[in-house]
A and B are shown apart, each in its own frame.
Chain A
Amino acid sequence: MSTVRIPPVLRAQTGDLKAVEVDGATVGAVLQALVERFPGLREQLLGPDGDLHRFVNVYINDQDVRYLDALATPVAPSDTITVLPAMAGGA
């Protein structure tokens, strides 16, 4: 199972868990499994059409999935998926 890192802003929905092991062959499948396990995450992560919320960034092994295959990006058991809110960079 891959590991999903949960940002502080979403931990109220995961019983304060910082990381969760989730099954899924793709990033999309992992996120679906995640929101089924923690339904409070659904409206924070996904829009009504099932796409990612515009202020959500998802990384696999620290690489933004939108530059791989987006939600179809394959996931291996040793992979780490990081979910982060969009934050203004330093400037």
Chain B
Amino acid sequence: MASPAPEAPGPAAGRYASIEEAIGHTPLVELARLAPRPNVRLLAKLEGVNPTGSVKDRIARAMLDDLEASGRLRSDSLLLEPTSGNTGIALAMLARRRGHRLAVVLPDNVTEERRRLLRLFGAGIIDSPGELGTNGAVALAQRLAADDPRFVMPYQYGNPANPRAHYETTGPEILAACPEVDVFVAGLGTGGTLMGVGRRLREANPAVQIVAAEPRPGEQVQGLRSMEEGFVPEVFDPAALDGRYLVSNVDAIAMVRRLADEEGVLGGVSSGAALAVALRVAAELERGTIVVLLADGGWKYLSDELWTRDLGELSSDAEARNWW
């Protein structure tokens, strides 16, 4: 009798049935050269290794899975999402694979690579005023969706699938690779990463600290007319954090340069900010292990010459853009 064919290697061997299954499983890399002292260890989760280059692949998959299972998507549906780029790109790749149409509402001052990647994956782009930042993109997307029932908005800012994806994937990966984690640092965009990973890490260790890095918005991207136009994402609970720090774009870019120079890691601007906060936390620790999530790679920022332009000259440009 013929022997059964051996089972093909699977995810444990790094083999996946499709690009969608390759989402996640990102490396956790020690940054020994940037850590301030031997008793404080610093490890970076490199989410830029995801298929479309950012952590957002995780939530895009979860949100689309939920929408498909809910039956809300019809043949004439058009997905519509406010995004500063990464979530839109992730949704665009998956929507293209799965046969859905997608348009994104995008601040008009994001990096050029974001636009190119969105178009490459077939997404339509609706510009929102750059000076209103992502607040403006959210408001415009909500107005458009209210006016046309064909629009279906995954709405990462309020969709529980967002933090759930991190609770189910990012958090367990961190615990598997670094069960001794004492502090988790990540950028604050929607809050999904901090909420989902935070909840999972605290289940393993209630004493773990969850700390946010937040962009200090440049003067030219604070076009709100009143404080009433402020926005707190529905998935974000500020009480679930242990700390929250502002980082200017120039400081984030300086840190991104150090990351490349000293560790050989190419991170995006929000990664620089998260790392700046991780080092600030590290400076106050006698001992411990910090995991910092680097949300995307540096590839989408090359055309802006973040690694090569004079930092002083770059600073006024830096404050006029939405980089995260």
Contacts and interface: CB of A to CB of B under 8 A. Distances in A.
A55 B135 CA distance: 12
A63 B243 contact: yes
Given A9-B224, A91-B86, 10 more contacts: A9-B226, A55-B228, A62-B246, A86-B231, A86-B232, A88-B157, A88-B231, A89-B134, A89-B187, A89-B215
A89 B188 contact: yes
Interface of A: 7-10, 44-45, 53-56, 59, 62-64, 66-67, 82, 84-91
Given A7-B222, A67-B242, A87-B133, A55 B215 contact: no
Q: For B215, B216, B230, which residue has the most chain A Cβ atoms within 10 angstroms?
A: B230
Contacts, number: 112
A91 B56 contact: yes
Contacts of B238: 66
Contacts of A8: 219, 222-224
Given A7-B222, A62-B246, A64-B243, A87 B84 contact: no
B306 to A, nearest CB: 15
A90 B324 contact: yes
Nearest to B244: A64
A91 B59 CA distance: 11
B52 interface: no
A90 B136 CA distance: 12
Q: Chain B contact residues (Cβ within 8 angstroms of A): what range?
A: 35 or more
Given A63-B244, A90-B215, A91-B83, A9 B135 contact: no
11 contacts: A45-B227, A54-B230, A55-B232, A56-B230, A64-B246, A67-B243, A86-B231, A89-B134, A89-B188, A90-B322, A91-B156
B138 A55 contact: no
B233 A88 contact: yes
Q: For A10, A55, A59, A62, which residue has the most chain B Cβ atoms within 10 angstroms?
A: A62
Interface string B251-289: 000000000000000000010000000000000000000
Q: For A7, A82, A86, which residue has the most chain B Cβ atoms within 10 angstroms?
A: A86
Interface in B212-251: 214-217, 219, 222-233, 238, 241-247
A35 B226 CA distance: 16
Contacts of A84: 216-217, 222, 246
A91 B216 contact: no
